[in-house]
Amino acid sequence: MAKIGWIGLGNMGIPMSQNLVKAGHEVFVWNRTKSKADGVVAVGAKWVDTPKAAAEAGDFVFTMVADGPTLHAVSLEKDGLVAGLSSGKIIVDMSTVSVEDSAKINKEVEAKGCKFLRAPVTGSTMMAASAALGILASGDREAYEKALSVFQCLGARHFYLGGGEEARVMKLSLNLMIATTMQMQAEAVVMAEKAGLNVAQVCEIIANSAVGSPLTGYKKVPISTGDYKPAFSVKLMIKDLKLAEEVGAQYGVKLESTSLTRNRLELASEKGYGEMDFSVLTKLLEEESKYTR
Protein backbone atom coordinates (compact mmCIF):
# COMPACT_ATOMS: atom_id res chain seq x y z
CA MET A 1 0.00 0.00 0.00
CA ALA A 2 1.14 3.54 -0.78
CA LYS A 3 1.56 6.71 1.25
CA ILE A 4 -0.54 9.36 -0.46
CA GLY A 5 -0.82 13.09 0.09
CA TRP A 6 -4.20 14.48 -1.02
CA ILE A 7 -4.79 18.22 -1.53
CA GLY A 8 -8.31 19.48 -2.27
CA LEU A 9 -11.53 18.18 -0.76
CA GLY A 10 -14.41 19.41 -2.88
CA ASN A 11 -17.34 17.46 -4.29
CA MET A 12 -14.99 15.09 -6.10
CA GLY A 13 -11.99 15.10 -3.79
CA ILE A 14 -13.86 13.87 -0.74
CA PRO A 15 -15.20 10.59 -2.16
CA MET A 16 -12.02 9.96 -4.13
CA SER A 17 -9.74 10.31 -1.10
CA GLN A 18 -12.16 8.22 0.96
CA ASN A 19 -11.84 5.45 -1.61
CA LEU A 20 -8.07 5.50 -1.25
CA VAL A 21 -8.38 5.10 2.52
CA LYS A 22 -10.88 2.27 2.12
CA ALA A 23 -8.47 0.53 -0.27
CA GLY A 24 -5.87 0.44 2.48
CA HIS A 25 -3.62 3.32 1.48
CA GLU A 26 -2.20 5.69 4.11
CA VAL A 27 -3.68 9.04 3.14
CA PHE A 28 -2.67 12.49 4.40
CA VAL A 29 -5.20 15.21 3.55
CA TRP A 30 -5.22 19.00 3.40
CA ASN A 31 -7.88 21.48 2.34
CA ARG A 32 -8.26 25.22 2.73
CA THR A 33 -11.44 24.69 4.75
CA LYS A 34 -10.44 22.13 7.37
CA SER A 35 -14.00 21.07 8.22
CA LYS A 36 -14.34 19.52 4.76
CA ALA A 37 -11.79 16.92 5.79
CA ASP A 38 -14.00 15.59 8.61
CA GLY A 39 -15.62 12.86 6.53
CA VAL A 40 -12.27 11.67 5.17
CA VAL A 41 -10.56 11.72 8.55
CA ALA A 42 -13.53 9.78 9.95
CA VAL A 43 -12.70 6.82 7.69
CA GLY A 44 -9.01 6.85 8.57
CA ALA A 45 -7.15 9.63 6.75
CA LYS A 46 -4.70 11.84 8.62
CA TRP A 47 -4.97 15.63 8.60
CA VAL A 48 -1.87 17.71 7.84
CA ASP A 49 -1.59 21.47 8.25
CA THR A 50 -0.14 22.49 4.88
CA PRO A 51 0.19 21.27 1.29
CA LYS A 52 3.92 21.08 2.01
CA ALA A 53 3.25 18.58 4.77
CA ALA A 54 1.05 16.49 2.48
CA ALA A 55 3.89 16.35 -0.05
CA GLU A 56 6.42 15.43 2.61
CA ALA A 57 4.21 12.57 3.82
CA GLY A 58 3.27 11.02 0.48
CA ASP A 59 5.15 9.03 -2.13
CA PHE A 60 2.29 10.06 -4.39
CA VAL A 61 0.81 13.56 -4.03
CA PHE A 62 -2.62 14.22 -5.56
CA THR A 63 -4.21 17.60 -6.17
CA MET A 64 -7.90 18.09 -7.01
CA VAL A 65 -8.69 21.81 -6.93
CA ALA A 66 -11.04 24.23 -8.66
CA ASP A 67 -8.80 26.10 -11.10
CA GLY A 68 -5.34 27.15 -12.21
CA PRO A 69 -4.80 29.95 -9.67
CA THR A 70 -5.70 27.57 -6.85
CA LEU A 71 -3.33 24.93 -8.22
CA HIS A 72 -0.57 27.54 -8.32
CA ALA A 73 -1.29 28.54 -4.72
CA VAL A 74 -1.27 25.03 -3.27
CA SER A 75 1.79 24.11 -5.35
CA LEU A 76 4.09 27.12 -5.38
CA GLU A 77 3.46 29.25 -2.28
CA LYS A 78 5.80 29.10 0.71
CA ASP A 79 4.03 26.11 2.28
CA GLY A 80 2.98 24.66 -1.07
CA LEU A 81 3.54 21.10 -2.14
CA VAL A 82 6.68 21.83 -4.19
CA ALA A 83 8.41 22.98 -1.01
CA GLY A 84 7.76 19.54 0.50
CA LEU A 85 9.09 17.47 -2.39
CA SER A 86 12.11 15.21 -2.30
CA SER A 87 13.45 13.33 -5.30
CA GLY A 88 11.44 10.43 -6.67
CA LYS A 89 7.92 11.46 -5.71
CA ILE A 90 5.06 11.42 -8.21
CA ILE A 91 2.65 14.37 -8.26
CA VAL A 92 -0.75 13.76 -9.86
CA ASP A 93 -2.99 16.71 -10.66
CA MET A 94 -6.61 15.72 -11.31
CA SER A 95 -7.94 19.27 -11.67
CA THR A 96 -9.15 20.88 -14.90
CA VAL A 97 -6.63 23.65 -15.65
CA SER A 98 -5.03 25.26 -18.66
CA VAL A 99 -2.16 23.77 -20.60
CA GLU A 100 -0.04 26.76 -19.60
CA ASP A 101 -0.70 26.42 -15.88
CA SER A 102 -0.01 22.71 -16.09
CA ALA A 103 3.32 23.23 -17.84
CA LYS A 104 4.45 25.72 -15.18
CA ILE A 105 3.76 23.25 -12.38
CA ASN A 106 5.50 20.48 -14.30
CA LYS A 107 8.64 22.60 -14.60
CA GLU A 108 8.78 23.23 -10.84
CA VAL A 109 8.07 19.61 -9.97
CA GLU A 110 10.73 18.25 -12.30
CA ALA A 111 13.26 20.72 -10.86
CA LYS A 112 12.87 18.84 -7.57
CA GLY A 113 13.65 15.50 -9.20
CA CYS A 114 10.01 14.39 -9.27
CA LYS A 115 7.49 13.51 -11.96
CA PHE A 116 4.21 15.28 -12.73
CA LEU A 117 1.21 13.44 -14.14
CA ARG A 118 -1.72 15.33 -15.59
CA ALA A 119 -4.71 13.13 -14.75
CA PRO A 120 -8.06 14.94 -14.96
CA VAL A 121 -11.10 12.74 -14.52
CA THR A 122 -14.34 12.27 -16.36
CA GLY A 123 -17.53 11.31 -14.55
CA SER A 124 -19.98 12.47 -11.91
CA THR A 125 -19.79 12.72 -8.13
CA MET A 126 -21.75 9.46 -8.02
CA MET A 127 -19.06 7.82 -10.13
CA ALA A 128 -16.39 9.27 -7.86
CA ALA A 129 -18.08 7.68 -4.85
CA SER A 130 -18.27 4.29 -6.55
CA ALA A 131 -14.70 4.47 -7.93
CA ALA A 132 -16.07 4.33 -11.48
CA LEU A 133 -14.45 7.45 -12.94
CA GLY A 134 -12.49 7.65 -16.16
CA ILE A 135 -8.93 8.88 -15.69
CA LEU A 136 -7.18 10.71 -18.54
CA ALA A 137 -3.44 10.70 -17.97
CA SER A 138 -0.39 12.17 -19.65
CA GLY A 139 3.18 12.71 -18.57
CA ASP A 140 6.09 10.38 -17.89
CA ARG A 141 5.08 6.84 -18.91
CA GLU A 142 7.05 5.13 -16.14
CA ALA A 143 5.42 7.37 -13.52
CA TYR A 144 2.02 6.51 -15.00
CA GLU A 145 2.72 2.79 -14.68
CA LYS A 146 3.71 3.28 -11.04
CA ALA A 147 0.54 5.27 -10.35
CA LEU A 148 -1.79 2.84 -12.10
CA SER A 149 -2.46 0.72 -9.01
CA VAL A 150 -3.61 3.87 -7.20
CA PHE A 151 -5.72 4.98 -10.18
CA GLN A 152 -7.49 1.63 -10.04
CA CYS A 153 -8.85 2.62 -6.61
CA LEU A 154 -10.39 5.74 -8.13
CA GLY A 155 -11.64 4.83 -11.57
CA ALA A 156 -12.79 1.98 -13.77
CA ARG A 157 -11.25 3.25 -17.01
CA HIS A 158 -7.73 4.57 -17.49
CA PHE A 159 -6.31 6.18 -20.61
CA TYR A 160 -2.64 7.07 -21.18
CA LEU A 161 -2.57 9.83 -23.80
CA GLY A 162 1.06 10.86 -24.15
CA GLY A 163 4.10 12.40 -22.54
CA GLY A 164 2.98 16.02 -22.28
CA GLU A 165 -0.24 18.01 -21.91
CA GLU A 166 -2.49 15.71 -23.95
CA ALA A 167 -4.75 14.87 -21.01
CA ARG A 168 -5.55 18.55 -20.49
CA VAL A 169 -6.74 18.94 -24.08
CA MET A 170 -8.77 15.73 -23.92
CA LYS A 171 -10.51 16.82 -20.72
CA LEU A 172 -11.46 20.18 -22.21
CA SER A 173 -12.69 18.44 -25.36
CA LEU A 174 -15.00 16.29 -23.24
CA ASN A 175 -16.25 19.20 -21.18
CA LEU A 176 -17.20 21.29 -24.19
CA MET A 177 -19.30 18.34 -25.40
CA ILE A 178 -20.90 17.96 -21.96
CA ALA A 179 -21.79 21.65 -21.78
CA THR A 180 -23.17 21.92 -25.30
CA THR A 181 -25.22 18.77 -24.74
CA MET A 182 -26.98 20.50 -21.84
CA GLN A 183 -27.73 23.51 -24.02
CA MET A 184 -29.21 21.23 -26.69
CA GLN A 185 -31.24 19.39 -24.06
CA ALA A 186 -32.55 22.68 -22.67
CA GLU A 187 -33.84 23.63 -26.12
CA ALA A 188 -35.43 20.22 -26.69
CA VAL A 189 -37.08 20.09 -23.25
CA VAL A 190 -38.52 23.61 -23.30
CA MET A 191 -39.89 23.23 -26.82
CA ALA A 192 -41.58 19.98 -25.79
CA GLU A 193 -42.91 21.49 -22.55
CA LYS A 194 -44.46 24.42 -24.35
CA ALA A 195 -46.15 21.97 -26.70
CA GLY A 196 -47.80 20.36 -23.67
CA LEU A 197 -45.55 17.35 -23.04
CA ASN A 198 -44.66 16.17 -19.53
CA VAL A 199 -41.11 17.17 -18.60
CA ALA A 200 -40.30 13.98 -16.70
CA GLN A 201 -41.40 11.85 -19.62
CA VAL A 202 -39.50 14.04 -22.06
CA CYS A 203 -36.28 13.64 -20.04
CA GLU A 204 -36.83 9.88 -19.74
CA ILE A 205 -37.30 9.54 -23.50
CA ILE A 206 -34.19 11.62 -24.24
CA ALA A 207 -32.12 9.49 -21.85
CA ASN A 208 -33.25 6.30 -23.59
CA SER A 209 -33.11 7.51 -27.17
CA ALA A 210 -30.44 7.52 -29.86
CA VAL A 211 -29.03 10.72 -28.31
CA GLY A 212 -29.14 9.29 -24.80
CA SER A 213 -25.94 9.05 -22.79
CA PRO A 214 -24.79 8.70 -19.18
CA LEU A 215 -24.99 12.50 -19.01
CA THR A 216 -28.64 12.71 -20.10
CA GLY A 217 -29.36 9.93 -17.63
CA TYR A 218 -27.75 11.82 -14.74
CA LYS A 219 -29.50 15.04 -15.59
CA LYS A 220 -33.05 13.79 -16.12
CA VAL A 221 -33.88 14.09 -12.41
CA PRO A 222 -32.60 17.65 -11.78
CA ILE A 223 -34.15 18.91 -15.02
CA SER A 224 -37.51 17.21 -14.50
CA THR A 225 -37.74 18.24 -10.82
CA GLY A 226 -36.16 21.69 -11.17
CA ASP A 227 -33.70 20.86 -8.37
CA TYR A 228 -30.40 22.24 -9.62
CA LYS A 229 -28.21 21.36 -6.65
CA PRO A 230 -24.67 21.62 -8.03
CA ALA A 231 -22.92 18.46 -9.10
CA PHE A 232 -20.89 20.75 -11.38
CA SER A 233 -21.55 24.45 -11.11
CA VAL A 234 -22.25 27.03 -13.79
CA LYS A 235 -19.16 29.00 -12.75
CA LEU A 236 -16.86 26.00 -13.05
CA MET A 237 -18.23 25.12 -16.46
CA ILE A 238 -17.73 28.71 -17.66
CA LYS A 239 -14.11 28.40 -16.56
CA ASP A 240 -13.65 25.16 -18.48
CA LEU A 241 -15.26 26.48 -21.66
CA LYS A 242 -13.01 29.53 -21.62
CA LEU A 243 -10.01 27.20 -21.36
CA ALA A 244 -11.36 25.13 -24.25
CA GLU A 245 -11.80 28.26 -26.37
CA GLU A 246 -8.17 29.20 -25.66
CA VAL A 247 -7.01 25.80 -26.90
CA GLY A 248 -9.27 26.09 -29.94
CA ALA A 249 -7.77 29.49 -30.76
CA GLN A 250 -4.26 28.08 -30.32
CA TYR A 251 -4.92 25.44 -32.96
CA GLY A 252 -7.13 27.55 -35.23
CA VAL A 253 -10.30 25.59 -34.52
CA LYS A 254 -13.65 27.41 -34.43
CA LEU A 255 -15.69 26.37 -31.40
CA GLU A 256 -18.95 28.13 -32.23
CA SER A 257 -21.36 25.97 -30.21
CA THR A 258 -18.94 26.13 -27.29
CA SER A 259 -18.94 29.93 -27.39
CA LEU A 260 -22.73 30.05 -27.61
CA THR A 261 -23.07 27.75 -24.61
CA ARG A 262 -20.55 29.77 -22.60
CA ASN A 263 -22.57 32.91 -23.33
CA ARG A 264 -25.72 31.16 -22.09
CA LEU A 265 -23.96 30.04 -18.91
CA GLU A 266 -22.65 33.56 -18.32
CA LEU A 267 -26.21 34.86 -18.62
CA ALA A 268 -27.31 32.23 -16.09
CA SER A 269 -24.56 33.39 -13.74
CA GLU A 270 -25.65 37.02 -14.16
CA LYS A 271 -29.17 35.97 -13.11
CA GLY A 272 -27.80 34.51 -9.87
CA TYR A 273 -27.47 30.87 -10.93
CA GLY A 274 -23.67 30.70 -10.86
CA GLU A 275 -23.48 28.21 -8.00
CA MET A 276 -26.25 25.99 -9.40
CA ASP A 277 -25.65 22.93 -11.57
CA PHE A 278 -24.94 23.83 -15.19
CA SER A 279 -28.08 21.95 -16.25
CA VAL A 280 -29.89 25.07 -15.01
CA LEU A 281 -29.68 26.10 -18.67
CA THR A 282 -33.15 24.54 -18.95
CA LYS A 283 -34.53 26.84 -16.25
CA LEU A 284 -32.95 29.84 -17.96
CA LEU A 285 -34.66 29.02 -21.26
CA GLU A 286 -37.99 28.31 -19.54
CA GLU A 287 -37.91 31.80 -18.04
CA GLU A 288 -37.01 33.41 -21.36
CA SER A 289 -39.80 31.44 -23.06
CA LYS A 290 -42.31 32.51 -20.39
CA TYR A 291 -42.96 28.91 -19.40
CA THR A 292 -44.00 28.12 -15.84
CA ARG A 293 -44.34 24.58 -14.61
Instruction: Return the active site residues.
Output: 171
Closest CA to 119 of 184, 168, 78, 52: 168
Backbone region of residue 77 per phi and psi (left: phi > 0; alpha: psi in -120 to 50; beta: other values): beta
Closest CA to 182 of 243, 121, 256, 262: 262
CA 186 to chain centre: 22
Close Cβ partners of 272 (under 8 Å, ≥ 6 residues apart): none
Q: Can you give 45-109 as a three-state secondary structure string?
A: CEECCCHHHHHHHCCEEEECCCCHHHHHHHHHCCCCHHHHCCCCCEEEECCCCCHHHHHHHHHHH
